[in-house]
Amino acid sequence: MTTCWAGGRQPTDSPTCRDDVEFVQEPDDAATGLRIVGAGNQRLPALTVGDLDCDAAEDDTPVERPRDADRCASTKDSYRRKRYGMSSQDLRSLDGTGAVAIIEPASPLPSPDQISAEPLSRRGFLHRLGLGAATVFVVADGVVAYRAWDQGVLSEGDGPAFEALEDWQSFQGPEAAVAAAVLAASAHNAQPWAFAISGDRVDVFADRTRTTGANDALWREFHISLGCAIENLVLAAEANGYVTAVALDPGTSPDLVATVTLSAGTPMVSKLYEVIGRRRSNRSDFTDDPMPDTVMASMSLLSVAGADLVWLNDPTARAGFADLLVQATRAHVDDEEQSMDSFEWWRNDRDQIQDHKDGLNIDGVGLSPMVRTLGKILPGVDREAADKTFLERTRSQADTAAAFGIVTVDDPYSLEQQLTGGRLLQRLHLWAAANDLGFQHMNQITERIDRDRQLGNTATFEQPLADLAGAGTLAAFRVGTPTVDSMASPRRPVAEVLR
């Protein structure tokens, strides 16, 4: 060691002392009773604590931010303890008493980063533990937030896949009718349509690439969906001042299912037209509220020539139909081809929704908002999980239906009657939307009937359904008061469906 001061002499001229010692005083061990083991007022290396320049803080006494001085003091004390082996008692003695500067042989001073903290106190340990835990939680929250952001948890219904729902009334002329048609209901939200506008005529085509496969083995739902689109098209054309003439199945082209001729007339804005943009399938549980007879009577008045409506609203009929629905759904998930073809139309994340602008997704399942959000944040489901949810939800949906409605026609396999039945189904759905009723298509039984026919299986569901609803069932739905608001489903815009 180099002793820079002893016995009242001036500091030595040693380079070590000259560089490191600011001032020294004669020790007074007897007076202080302290054991001085290290250096006192050595000039410390420039220290910064966070944003704080400690040298500046010292110079500006009294410092403007006393908290900073506290932090500097703590840092310098820590430095002295580590560098010179001084005790807390030694440090306290420095204030005004002076100290002998006993400097160790000149050696590079450690950098601030090399000065480790003093032995950790319990308080310090807990502080660090808290900071560490807070950091872990914030990182986890950040991951959840990113996932939630990526899945659009707080921006449901935004993006290109939903623009058609917002701007459908901004179109003019025949395009306005097409803009409404693309918002129609369709099985699995497959939107199996295409349109061509020639002057004042709109041709409605079947886009047979958009099939749901084994779920619609005999093209029943496919054509019903086209009927739904035709109904929207007609309602919108009339609201935009056209008189319409609809020719179903004109037979001039295999995929041309209807021609709607428009001629000038007086705008007729119906209540059904007004709710085209907010019609949704509601797959949530319904409340126990019974379906008033007046409501069913009003909906029955919507029937059109060639398609009728049958109600199943007494408890026995409802229970029988509900049981049949669950059986059909179980058969559906047990049929691997049907299950796979159904899952083809399932959109697991926001990117898929925005890319495809069709299909089903978790927003449409009818879950509570928090469960729906968790479903989005967690990884997407596989087919088995989707099937399990489908079966569970069907059981719950069937049990909570206030009434089941059946659209009947003479021949459920006639293209023209399928289109006509589809038009009625769309009118019923729009009426429900206009009256804040929950409405959901229940296709499982008819899907299984057609699937059994396709495969040559024993007809398991045909007769039980006929016993409940009579002959000629084309499609079924349930109505009631929903417990959860339904969400918008993605839509292909006009530009993507015009030929």
Partner 1 sequence: MTTTLNRASTVGLAAAGLTAAAGVIELAVGSNSWTGDKNEPTTLGALTVILAGIIAASALVLIRRRPTSASSLASAVGMALPALISVTTAGRFALPGAIVGVTGGALAFADARTRGSIRRTISDALPTALLAILAVIYLAFGAVAGPIGFLGILGAAAVVAALALEEHSTRLATVVLVIGVVPFAAATWWSVVIPLTAILLLAIGLPQIHSARRSLARTHSVIPL
Residues that bind partner 1 (CB under 8 A): 41, 46-53, 58, 61, 65-67, 69-73, 75-76, 91-92, 94-95, 112-113, 115, 128, 130-131, 134-135, 137-138, 141-142, 144-145, 148-149, 152-155, 158-160, 351, 354-355, 368-370, 372-374, 377
Whole-number minimum distance, CB 141 to partner 1, in Å?
6
Whole-number minimum distance, CB 225 to partner 1, in Å?
26
Whole-number minimum distance, CB 69 to partner 1, in Å?
6
Whole-number minimum distance, CB 88 to partner 1, in Å?
11
Closer CB to partner 1, residue 95 or residue 288?
95
- Show Cβ contacts of residue 159 under 8 Å, excluding neighbours closer than 6 positions: 152, 350, 353, 354
Residue 71's SS3 state is helix
| Peptide linkage before 62 cis (omega within 30 of 0) | yes
Closer CB to partner 1, residue 153 or residue 386?
153
| Integer Cα distance of 71 and 48 in angstroms | 10
- What are the residue ranges of helices labelled H in 378-487? 383-399, 415-434, 444-455, 462-469
End-to-end CA distance of the chain: 94
Q: Ramachandran region of residue 191, left (φ > 0), alpha (ψ -120 to 50) or beta?
A: left
Residue 263's SS3 state is strand
What are the φ and ψ backbone dihedral angles of 341, each rounded to 5 degrees?
-65, -30
Whole-number minimum distance, CB 369 to partner 1, in Å?
4
Closer CB to partner 1, residue 153 or residue 272?
153
Closer CB to partner 1, residue 66 or residue 85?
66
Closer CB to partner 1, residue 184 or residue 488?
488
- Show Cβ contacts of residue 451 under 8 Å, excluding neighbours closer than 6 positions: 214, 215, 217, 335, 338, 457
Closer CB to partner 1, residue 369 or residue 470?
369
Closer CB to partner 1, residue 66 or residue 267?
66
What are the φ and ψ backbone dihedral angles of 406, each rounded to 5 degrees?
-125, 125
Closer CB to partner 1, residue 366 or residue 422?
366
Which amino acid belongs to residue 378? L
What are the φ and ψ backbone dihedral angles of 354, each rounded to 5 degrees?
-70, -30
CB-based burial of residue 65 (10 Å sphere; 0-12 exposed, 13-18 middle, 19+ buried)? exposed
Whole-number minimum distance, CB 170 to partner 1, in Å?
20
Whole-number minimum distance, CB 101 to partner 1, in Å?
15
Structural contact between residues 371 and 392, judged by C-beta atoms closer than 8 angstroms: no
Whole-number minimum distance, CB 489 to partner 1, in Å?
17
